[in-house]
Structure 1
Amino acid sequence: MKIKNMKPSKTLSIAILALALSVQSCSDYFDVGNNPNLVTAPSVNSLLGSVTHRVGLNAQRYGSAVSSYVQYTASPTSGSETDTYQITDLSTSWSQAYYGMSDAYDMVSAAEESGATLHVGVGKLLIAYQLGLVADTWGTVPYTEAFNKVDTFTPVYDSEEQVQETIGQLIDEAIVALGATDATIALDENLDVIHHGDVDAWLRTAHGLKARYLNKFTKKPTYDPQAVLNALDNAYESSADDMKMGVFTGNNPWATIATNNLGGTLGGWLSTNFINHLNGHTYGIVDPRISRITDATVHGNYVGTPNGGGNQGNAANTIHDECYISTNSPLTGNTSPIFIMTYAELKFVEAEAALRGGFAARAYAAYLDGIQASMNMLGVPAAEAEAYIKEPTVGVGANSLTLDLIFKEKYVVTYLNYEAWNDARRHDYAYEGFTMPIGAVLSNFIRRIAIPNVELVNNGGNIPGQEPLDTPLWWDKP
């Protein structure tokens, strides 16, 4: 089933954002019901605008929070807390994810009452996605008693395994709802700022998120590569299907970081590890995507900043002798969308699952397709892309493809995406040249983040004992 719609104009952004603010959640552990300043009974499509907008911003927010852990970025200040695995307070990220889930939960509740089955599907899917963000960051989190499902300001914490099971159930329920033919209300093409009312696109995204979710459990004995491949068979067919959100009050948040950096509010410096991954230092070949991701330095080369080491140039500010997030990149430009999940990424999910399942030919075809899709997405000229893919260390043939190669190429594709941290943990940070940050306060790579202050203050009595930050999450253990 498909409801054909046109993409909304950017001029709708102010109206959509005003609407998003009008339905912001609060009280009763992120329930909207008791705030007198809010719309008391917003329509399901009004909520759809808030829900789809929030999830895009949360995708960027969480990607930014962990970008130094996967060494995409590095601080220009030596010994920074994010680079060196110190305890950081992500209260805003925590709260915004719960606001996003609360809006989605309210949309699902209203949609169930009115028979708006499609909104039920979108809502459950976006609850699942954002619940994944918090669960993959902190492990055990509140869900069962959140959103006024139980009349309490202090909901209990669900176990790590329970939360992961809930995510899978929500995705499956979303797929059923999106496939129903009895919806009473269409998805509004203007207020849906992700897929613009296209139900088929939402279904493909639901199957893609299911594949991504199932592939996270590679360390568990229940991991089923065929189930991952089955989900992918119903997911994206091209980059036109990408899950992305491009409506902002100003510019793309990544572009704002880049612009602020050039103005003296430093941030968005790229890690030595990531730059060396691309500039030929680590692998002996230059990846042509580097010039579409960042800008060359004033010296015409590509130089990163070591995590924990800070600015390495002769000046203490941005004379551009190191590389930064760039507004010239299709991924981080002023008007670029936030990419939540892409066709290119899913081709690497397919490559990994197929290789683990013993389907070498399918794995290699997906691996090559993923590289090509990434090149196309970044606007790399065909000749440069072809030359890179034909390099003997890249185009290795089906019989020589390894998981290391798949993770190596996927690392470029998931640049600044939160999912990269899930991959790094699943792969035990075993990327070529990936080392512990300078001055790290942990003995091993970071695996989780400390519960934020907002929760310590408001719900501290329910927080389970906190593990050291290098303790793997449930899904990250055999």
Structure 2
Amino acid sequence: MKHLKYTIFILLVSIVFMSCSEGYFDVNSSETAPTTQSLDPQYRIKGAIENMFTGVIYRGSREVLGITQHGAQNVANYYSETWSSYLTTGSYFLWQNAYVYSLPNTADLIALGEKHNSPNFIAVGKILRAYGFGTTTDQYGSIVFTETYDGVSSLNLTPEFESQEVVYQGIIQMLDEAIAQINEPSDIELNANGGDVFYNGNKEQWIRLAYALKARYLNHLSKKSSGDMAYDADAIIEACSLALQSNADNAYRSYGGGEAENDRQPFSVGGYGSSRVDYFSHFFVELLKNSLDLDVAYEDPRLKIIVPEAVNGGYQGVRIGEGPLPDNATGGDDYSIGNGGFYTSPTSPTYMMTYSEVKYIEAEARLRKGDNSGAYTALKSGIQADFEKAEASSLETTAYLAKMDEEIGESGLTLSHIMVQKYITLLFDPETWVDMRRMDYSDEIYPGLERPVNVNLNIFPNDDDWIQAMVYEYNEEDRNYENMPDNTASVRLTTPVWWNVTE
């Protein structure tokens, strides 16, 4: 074991302090690979932003598609859809990508901001870092936090794990510090080298993003009722009021659609994840066919925007875990493929945070405090923004919202109406899994939701057993087994994370 630890130590140091020479993570040549202090911060910000997409957003969504049920595979019994095989053996690589690629870049950005007397870069580093830690802890629970690579200290190969509650406190603190620091006098401007691919150096938009993320993480606490991290609807609503104000503030990465796989949206043809999502799922397609959950179905205009029509016509999704029928060889032409739509074409953007999500968060918080009128107004604003983002016509948008008023209205508003709209908006976003767990995978919240076909009954024998967290990666277990929590698959996959335990 000792020899193994030293071997992994050498490998990790080599990875962390070398440029990634090939592959999806080589988004900015040597400037994106985690290094020490060899560059000024304006040359590091682009890599810090883009590696958060490749290392956290994409990796955080890919293996949970069989849980969130946006997309499905062209074979039956696919491991991530049946919650088996690799998911039970620590072969899900969000952990490695977060700690080797994404988070080290943010640590270096902070360190470089400090070195060059530029608090604005420190602030951006903290905002991105909060997102990276937030997504990671939401999928695993307890994680390495304080003792991870910080851009200054020597690398600790056996760091302590900290509870999710402690991590959440740190995330909120980082965001608050960033909001306070970003407008402090800085020797180097954020977009000095054109690296701020989010906001072109607009600090007020970065502040809005920080508040949006703060609202998101505070909203995760919906089952907490005591202590410093108790759910506070008013604090969430306040954060939303200071967060993204329109689609112009959306935080996203765009793609050129070129030959290189890192220049194409990950779930598009030729993108890094093109083999991972072959079809849209039955659940998602059927939801779009009647997203208002009316007795007489009313088709969502976004169906034909997001989901390509099947070769043989119509819109049909594949049931998770089942594969296309009548067989996997010829059944595919009857189903809507998982790429080529508005969000899955080579030039489609990938979103970190949107104005629509902010309004859905606000709507949930207002509904929980009994403000149905405010909740309904926020929900409609979120829907309108999402229709506009998806380039639906104004006539389609107006008709859909009018149908809502006619059939639902503020008096008929339920949590399901909010969460269904949020589910549609957060296509291929790891945040969806957070919501589904908070909602206890309820088919009253998500009409038509069912467990996968061929689900792993060895670990999930009962109808109400759903996956709750991810197994830590095997390389972390080999290297740092003394500090990590119980990593037995039957424990990790079925034990709720901290914010999902009701107080």
Provide the TM-score with structure 2 as the length reference: 0.84
Any conservation in 1 of the 2:301–2:392 contact (CA below 8 Å)? yes
* 1:242 has 2:250 as partner: yes
Give the equivalent residue in structure 2 for 1:9.
none
* 1:188 has 2:197 as partner: no
Are residues 318 and 311 of structure 1, via their aligned partners in 2, closer, same or farther at CA, if it must alter by over 3 Å?
Answer: closer
Q: Which one of the candidate residues 60, 68, 79 is aligned to 1:62?
A: 60
Distance 1:50 1:318 in 2: 42
Give the equivalent residue in structure 2 for 1:36.
none
Are residues 455 and 394 of structure 1, via their aligned partners in 2, closer, same or farther at CA, if it must alter by over 3 Å?
Answer: farther
Any conservation in 2 of the 1:251–1:334 contact (CA below 8 Å)? yes
Q: Which one of the candidate residues 369, 391, 398 is aligned to 2:410?
A: 398
Are residues 394 and 308 of structure 1, via their aligned partners in 2, closer, same or farther at CA, if it must alter by over 3 Å?
Answer: farther
Q: Secondary structure at the match of 1:320?
A: helix
* 1:320 has 2:333 as partner: yes
Q: Secondary structure at the match of 1:405?
A: helix
Are residues 407 and 132 of structure 1, via their aligned partners in 2, closer, same or farther at CA, if it must alter by over 3 Å?
Answer: same
Please give the root-mean-square deviation of Cα atoms over the aligned residues, in Å.
2.3
* 1:276 has 2:291 as partner: no
Are residues 205 and 328 of structure 1, via their aligned partners in 2, closer, same or farther at CA, if it must alter by over 3 Å?
Answer: same
- Residue 299 (structure 1) shift: 2.9
Any conservation in 2 of the 1:258–1:324 contact (CA below 8 Å)? no
Give the equivalent residue in structure 1 for 2:131.
129
Q: Which one of the candidate residues 354, 358, 366 is aligned to 2:370?
A: 358
Any conservation in 2 of the 1:20–1:49 contact (CA below 8 Å)? no
Are residues 128 and 193 of structure 1, via their aligned partners in 2, closer, same or farther at CA, if it must alter by over 3 Å?
Answer: same
Distance 1:194 1:206 in 2: 13
Cα deviations across residues 148-188 of structure 1 (Å, max 9, x unaligned)? 6465211111112111211111111111112x331221102
Give the equivalent residue in structure 2 for 1:28.
none
Q: Secondary structure at the match of 2:80?
A: coil
Any conservation in 2 of the 1:139–1:474 contact (CA below 8 Å)? yes
Matches within 5 A, 1:303-342: 303-314=316-327, 316=329, 319-329=332-342, 331-342=343-354
- Residue 297 (structure 1) shift: 1.0
> How many residues are treated as equivalent by the alignment?
447
Distance 1:425 1:356 in 2: 17
Cα deviations across residues 202-255 of structure 1 (Å, max 9, x unaligned)? 111111111111101001001000000111111111101101012564211121
Q: Which AA in structure 1 matches 2:141?
A: G
Q: Which one of the candidate residues 73, 76, 79 is aligned to 2:74?
A: 76
Matches within 5 A, 1:392-471: 396-430=408-442, 431-441=446-456, 442=460, 443=462, 444-466=465-487, 467-471=491-495
Distance 2:389 2:330 in 1: 32
* 1:367 has 2:379 as partner: yes
Q: Which AA in structure 2 matches 1:408?
A: V
Structure 1, 123-132 or 40-49: larger mean CA deviation = 40-49
Q: Which one of the candidate residues 256, 262, 265 is aligned to 1:252?
A: 265
Q: Which one of the candidate residues 289, 298, 301 is aligned to 2:311?
A: 298
* 1:49 has 2:50 as partner: no
Distance 2:234 2:406 in 1: 26
Distance 2:405 2:475 in 1: 48
- Residue 21 (structure 1) shift: 3.6
Distance 1:323 1:192 in 2: 36
- Residue 433 (structure 1) shift: 0.8
Distance 1:318 1:173 in 2: 54
Give the equivalent residue in structure 1 for 2:147.
145
Distance 1:23 1:192 in 2: 13
Any conservation in 2 of the 1:76–1:266 contact (CA below 8 Å)? no
Give the equivalent residue in structure 1 for 2:235.
227
Give the equivalent residue in structure 1 for 2:18.
none
- Residue 17 (structure 1) shift: 5.2
Cα deviations across residues 366-415 of structure 1 (Å, max 9, x unaligned)? 11111111111111122222222222588512222111111111111111
Distance 1:159 1:115 in 2: 33
Q: Which AA in structure 2 matches 1:63?
A: S
- Residue 327 (structure 1) shift: 2.3
Any conservation in 1 of the 2:267–2:276 contact (CA below 8 Å)? no
Q: Secondary structure at the match of 2:66?
A: coil
- Residue 418 (structure 1) shift: 1.0
Are residues 303 and 143 of structure 1, via their aligned partners in 2, closer, same or farther at CA, if it must alter by over 3 Å?
Answer: same
Q: Which AA in structure 2 matches 1:464?
A: P
Structure 1, 207-216 or 317-326: larger mean CA deviation = 317-326
- Residue 315 (structure 1) shift: 5.2
Q: Which AA in structure 2 matches 1:123?
A: G
Q: Which one of the candidate residues 373, 376, 380 is aligned to 2:388?
A: 376
- Residue 196 (structure 1) shift: 2.1
Structure 1, 211-220 or 100-109: larger mean CA deviation = 100-109
Distance 1:419 1:182 in 2: 34
Distance 2:271 2:441 in 1: 27
Q: Which AA in structure 2 matches 1:309?
A: E
- Residue 76 (structure 1) shift: 2.0
Give unpaired runs (5+ residues) of structure 1.
1-13, 26-31, 34-39
Any conservation in 2 of the 1:23–1:42 contact (CA below 8 Å)? no
Cα deviations across residues 436-456 of structure 1 (Å, max 9, x unaligned)? 111212131111111112212
Matches within 5 A, 1:139-178: 139-147=141-149, 149=153, 152-178=156-182
Distance 1:193 1:354 in 2: 33
Distance 1:299 1:324 in 2: 12
Are residues 91 and 150 of structure 1, via their aligned partners in 2, closer, same or farther at CA, if it must alter by over 3 Å?
Answer: farther
Give unpaired runs (5+ residues) of structure 2.
1-22, 257-261
Provide the TM-score with structure 1 as the length reference: 0.88
Give the equivalent residue in structure 1 for 2:211.
207
Any conservation in 2 of the 1:257–1:268 contact (CA below 8 Å)? no
Are residues 285 and 120 of structure 1, via their aligned partners in 2, closer, same or farther at CA, if it must alter by over 3 Å?
Answer: same
Distance 1:257 1:313 in 2: 27
Q: Which AA in structure 2 matches 1:354?
A: R
Distance 1:394 1:197 in 2: 44
Are residues 20 and 355 of structure 1, via their aligned partners in 2, closer, same or farther at CA, if it must alter by over 3 Å?
Answer: farther
Distance 2:136 2:483 in 1: 16
Are residues 287 and 65 of structure 1, via their aligned partners in 2, closer, same or farther at CA, if it must alter by over 3 Å?
Answer: same
- Residue 319 (structure 1) shift: 4.5
Q: Secondary structure at the match of 2:231?
A: coil
Q: Which one of the candidate residues 107, 110, 118 is aligned to 2:120?
A: 118
Are residues 125 and 90 of structure 1, via their aligned partners in 2, closer, same or farther at CA, if it must alter by over 3 Å?
Answer: farther
